[in-house]
Each structure stands twice: as structure tokens, then as C-alpha cells.
A and B are shown apart, each in its own frame.
Chain A
Amino acid sequence: MIYADNAATTRMSETAINTMTELMRDAWGNPSSLYAHGQNAKEVLEKAREDVAAVIGAEPREIIFTSGGSEADNQAIRSAAELGRKKGKTHIISTAFEHHAVLHTLEKLKAEGFDITLLDVHENGIVLPEEVEAAIREDTCLVTIMTANNEIGSIQPIREIGAICRKKNVLFHTDAVQAMVHIPLNVVDDNIDMLSASAHKFHGPKGVGFLYAKKNVRLSNLIEGGEQERGKRAGTENVPGIAAMAAALKEANEKMDENAVHLIKMRDRLIAGLKEIPHSALNGDPVRRLPGNVNFCFEGIEGESLLLLLDDKGIQASSGSACTSGSLDPSHVLLAIGRVHDVAHGSLRLSIGENVTEEEIDYMIKSVGEVVEYLRGFSPLWRDLMEGKKEFIL
């Protein structure tokens, strides 16, 4: 079996599993309690906060533990909107290909009277800093742009965007769920005011994530209750999960450079191999992309049938086809980079893991080629293209 869907989720590392199971036994006390059991759990929690903060160059008190990336995105955007509203600033800048945790929150804010600008991400899936600058107005309260895209892996110039936001005195949030531990991130150097991350994308447990918020950014609560997380996120802390996240993060961060060298080599081999398939195209920037991300469109076929047949060959991947999501439209990300519906339905994302081998890459190239050829063999769309009744797009 080749698991090539690491952008969807990752397998928990042994370190994370061991940390979590040990702490479930040994640190089950409530961190808010004053007796030893509680204080022991509190210590574990605060050590995890220090470890997480250290990885991104933040101070421990700037880290809020959440249930994952979606919650962190929601809280960051809601908080900035609240701060803006108080000053009469109700304009937010983002992009058309953000994660739905961002886009759906922005839609809600729009219904509440906010003005939302979604910037073009161009054919290569990268926002231009000068277009961010040009979009900033007197009433802009937030710029929220992901660090790297979850489907096509394109890496955004967040440092430049952050610098522009600083200059213009606008808050900058970045959803770093996909980028964390794949590219270097430092909230100080990268001029980031708020950042979201999710543990299960870096071999940690599901249901845990964190929000970094610079200390001068006043957060609003999504969850009201007790005084946990400096009063910004109520609910007894998931101590074992949080500690497992910190352990996974630390481990993956230490191996980042080594992993990236291997992954980029494997990624580029996979891209070169898949490019040989006629009428195919890479989605996203070929260079400024996450080390483990490969995303292609194949003309004349549909993505779900491709995924099912690859699964039969032991390859687990994902697609931006409408049929895989239950909606009528293909991926909003592929549409945002200008892929038309016809070819967006035929997309394939292979997000490879650190342990992938050259043999596995070659097997994937061979298998994808075979399946695409087989499906094209009885596709009426492919027949029309081959007989010249329709024009090739790719």
C-alpha cells in the first residue's frame, strides 16, 4: 500500500502515540486543579506550549490550543473582525482558494455586513504581494492568506505580505495547516500576527491544533466558559493530545530539512513521470510548492474513477472532482487557478510522505499512466477530442 494522501491526514508518529498513551495513564488530572495530579497535568500542558512556541519563534503565552486548524482559523478571523468592527473597519482581504474554514467564515461575516475582497491567485496559484498592497484600504481590518495551498501546494509570499500588512497597520493571519514543518516558518521574521495549525497534518493526533496570536492581538472567544487558555478558549484541556502534538511537531521540525531534500527529489521525479502522460498538466507552481505535493489534471477522464482504480492498485490519493465531494462543482482551488470544469473533474492529488521510495514513485507513475489510458479507452469525451470534434484544453 502506498499512502499518498498526507495532505488529508498523516499517520501518527510512534513518538506521538507513545506520548499520548503514557499521558492518558499518568497525566489525567485536570490542569486547573491545585493538587498534585492537576498540577502535574498543568506542567505537561505548559511544557507543550513552550515546545510549540519555540518551533515557530513565538512566546508560549502567544499559543492557544484549539480543536484543530478549522477552529483556529475561525477564531483568528472572528477576532480580527471584532477588533475591526469596533473601529469601523469592516473590510477583509483574502484569496479565492483558501480552505473552507476561512472562506465559509468570511461568507458569514459578509452576511453580517463585512466587505470581502478575494484576490486572484493567478495560473500558478500564487498571490502577488503588490496586489495585496493595492487591495488594502483605510477600512481594512485583516488580510488572511494561507501559507501554502492544501490542494496544489503553492507556497505564498507570506513574509512580503506580512511586511506590507505591518506597514499599513493591518492584521495578518495565515492558515499554515499544510505548510507547518514542510517549510521554515517564524512568526517574527515572517511578520505574522496570527497563525493556524493542525496536529494531524504533521503526524500528531486528530482533534488538536493551535492558534498563534501575537500578544497585542486581542482574541475573541468562540467557546465561552472557564478560564482555560488565558480565558480565550474554554474547556478542560486535551492534555495528552496537546502533548502528543508538541512531540510530533518538535520531531517533524527537527527533520524538516532532511525530509524536504528527499521529498523534493521524489516529488520532482513523480511530476516528470506524470508529465509524460499526453494531455496532462501540473496544477500549481512547479518550484514554489510544498515538498510533498503533486497535483495533475488529465483530460478526458473523471477523478473519482481514477481514485477507485488507483486504490485497487494499492495507491491512496485524492481528487478535486465534484464526484468525490458530493457537490456539483469541482474543486474551488482548481477553478481559482483557471482550470475549466471539463479538466478540473479529472484532477489527481498525490501528497507523498517522508518515507516514500523511488520504487514507489515509479510504481505510481506506471499505475497512473495505466489507469488514465484505460479510462480514456471508453471515454466519449476522449473520443471526441481524439476525433477532433472537440478541442484539447491541455
Chain B
Amino acid sequence: MALYSNKVMEHFRNPRNVGIIEDANGIGEVGNAVCGDIMKMYLKIEDDIVQDVKFETFGCGSAIASSSMATELIKGKPVSEVKQLTNKAVAEALDGLPDYKMHCSVLAEEAIQAALEDYEKRTGKEI
């Protein structure tokens, strides 16, 4: 059996929404270089909807795939719904992650939550 599911490999090989958003109004960065994982999410929120999302990731295959999948799950969604996103949902959408890689999906959830908090701070709005 391969280390990762086909879904993980597909997202790893062809990550969606890679890059940055120059006029993002919510940016979240989690992880650190010492641990070997950094995830950065850029959100462009308009009318309480995530109109655009991009990511940058330093990390392993499952970290990149988790970032990619997380952006797909939240793009075009209302912020109230995005706030409910869990790492489990990310991992499930990827057809599962090896146990010791579950923290990659946690990072994806945390990066998005951090970006939402940044948005709240910038706009004074509460989601």
C-alpha cells in the first residue's frame, strides 16, 4: 500500500489555489520551520463570503495536500460556515491521512482559523 491515498497524491501533485492574494483581508500563518511545517492562508472576504483563497506551504506532501484541500473546501463559502471547518473534514476529504500525518490537517484548520481571526481584527466584525 502506498503511503498516501490517491486523493492526497493528486492534491500534492496539482495543488489548488497556490500563491498569495495581494489585497487579502485575512492572513493566517501557523507552524514553524523548526517543526518542518509552515502554512500560510490568504483570504479575500467580501459580503461575508470567502471570495478567494490562496495558500503557501513549507512542509511534507500531506501538508501541501491538506492546504490545497482546505482551500477547496472553503472557497465561495460563507465565513460562518468556514469557521466550522475541522481538521477531520479536511482529512476525510483527502480519503484519510496516516495517523502520524493528522497534524497536517490540524495545521490547515488552524491556518484558516488564524486567517479568520485576522479578518475579524482588521474589520472589527465578528463571525
Contact = CB atoms under 8 A, between A and B. Distances in A.
Interface string A359-394: 000000000000000000011111100000000000
A345 interface: yes
B98 to A, nearest CB: 8
Contact of B57 (A312, A324, A340, A380): A380
A378 B59 contact: no
Interface string B15-48: 1001110000000010001111111100000000
Query: From DSSP, what is the main secondary structure of chain A's interface residues?
Result: helix
A340 B33 CA distance: 10
B88 interface: no
B40 A380 contact: yes
B56 interface: yes
Nearest to B55: A378
A305 B59 CA distance: 7
A380 B36 contact: no
Given A312-B13, A341-B33, A323 B60 contact: yes
Interface residues of B, number: 27
Interface string A332-350: 0000000011100100000
B61 A308 contact: yes
Interface in A288-334: 300-305, 308-309, 312, 321-324, 326, 328, 330
B12 A380 contact: no
Nearest to A342: B33
A308 B63 CA distance: 13
Given A323-B59, A378-B19, A330 B100 contact: no
Interface string B64-105: 100000000000000000000000000000000000110000
Contacts of A324: 60
B34 A342 contact: yes
Nearest to B100: A326
Nearest to B13: A312
A248 to B, nearest CB: 30
Contacts of A304: 60-61
Contacts of A381: 33, 38, 58
Nearest to A377: B18
Contacts of B101: 323
Contacts of A378: 15, 18-19, 55-57
B12 A301 contact: no
A341 B36 contact: yes
Given A312-B13, A379-B38, 16 more contacts: A302-B37, A302-B58, A304-B60, A305-B12, A321-B60, A323-B60, A323-B63, A326-B100, A341-B35, A345-B33, A379-B56, A379-B58, A380-B29, A380-B56, A381-B58, A383-B20
Interface of A: 300-305, 308-309, 312, 321-324, 326, 328, 330, 340-342, 345, 378-383
List 8 tightest A-B contacts by C-beta distance, closest first. A323-B60, A345-B36, A304-B60, A342-B33, A380-B40, A379-B58, A381-B58, A380-B56
